[in-house]
Structure 1
Amino acid sequence: MSPDRIIEAFDEIFRYEKALPAIRLAGIEALHRLMPVAQGYSGQSGVIGRFLLGLYNGQEYPFDMTELRRLDAALFDDCISVLRLDNTTEREVHRYFENGDAIWEELRNRWV
């Protein structure tokens, strides 16, 4: 690897690390906006519920990404923010909620 490429790689890592607090904050806020939707009864509720279950355990609850096309723009953007949050691997998605295990059990009962 050339010295220039090494410098670029370190610069990219530095930019990402610097952006992490904003990524996490935006994702947590979006997650808390999405949860009431997932607990609702609309068509978009099902998409959001299954999306969150897929983040929780994609092996057990696979999610078809084309389902995101059914969401309005604001919900879609929130899903992308939550996906970015989940990519940081700070903690599992259900751990951002008090009683997260019980909340995700409710989602399983409703949307699986």
Structure 2
Amino acid sequence: MPGATPDQVAGNVVAMVEGSVNLFQSCIATAPFSDLVAAHPNQVERGAYAITLVTSLIHEGNVEGAYQLAKRYSTGQLTSCSILKGENGESFHELAMKWIESNHRPMV
């Protein structure tokens, strides 16, 4: 915004953030965050939010759903455009499965 003062820029940023918060609140009032992530075109087409989707399922209490999804990513049944690996070369999804198995999943 050419010619804007720092106060005007700050005011515009605050207004944008407040508008984004309101939009976010209205979106999650109708569906869980994980549903919104799963339906996003970048996730559907490229698995762009695979990690966000697994972590949001855990946060929402759907640990079994998170485990099954992480398993599908770790076995290559689903693909992600971003693969993060830990120090031992294990993918985020493999580590998420181990964490769920050791902390939240009943032994079968």
Q: TM-score, normalised by structure 2?
A: 0.38
Bigger radius of gyration, 1 or 2?
Answer: 2
Q: TM-score, normalised by structure 1?
A: 0.37
